[in-house]
Amino acid sequence: MNTTPNTTSTYAILSLAFGIIAWLMAPLLGAIVAVICGHLARAEIRRSPHPLEGDGMAIAGLILGYLQIALAVLLALIIAIFFGGLLAFVASAAMQA
């Protein structure tokens, strides 16, 4: 019988925490930290000689982080397209006047 209590990966806890923070307070920074800690947690859990818990938390942090990064990239593209089109419209209107 295993008498050693299972411990949770600190990186997994950080990944989930920063994944939540990415959606509440610090979108891009929180997402990047969540993704990095999530990958570190999953590697730590796989390589640990004793059982480590937290794979679900690491995956949740990765999902939250990657979704936030994808949303930020999509928003940046939408803004660039909108303002690029607006700039082209203003330039063409100025040329016609």
Prediction pTM value: 0.81
pLDDT tens digits along 9-52? 999 999 999 999 999 999 899 999 999 999 999 999 999 988 89
pLDDT tens digits along 44-97? 999 998 889 999 999 999 999 999 999 999 999 998 888 777 777 777 777 776
Amino acid at 40: L
Domain boundaries, the chain: 9-96
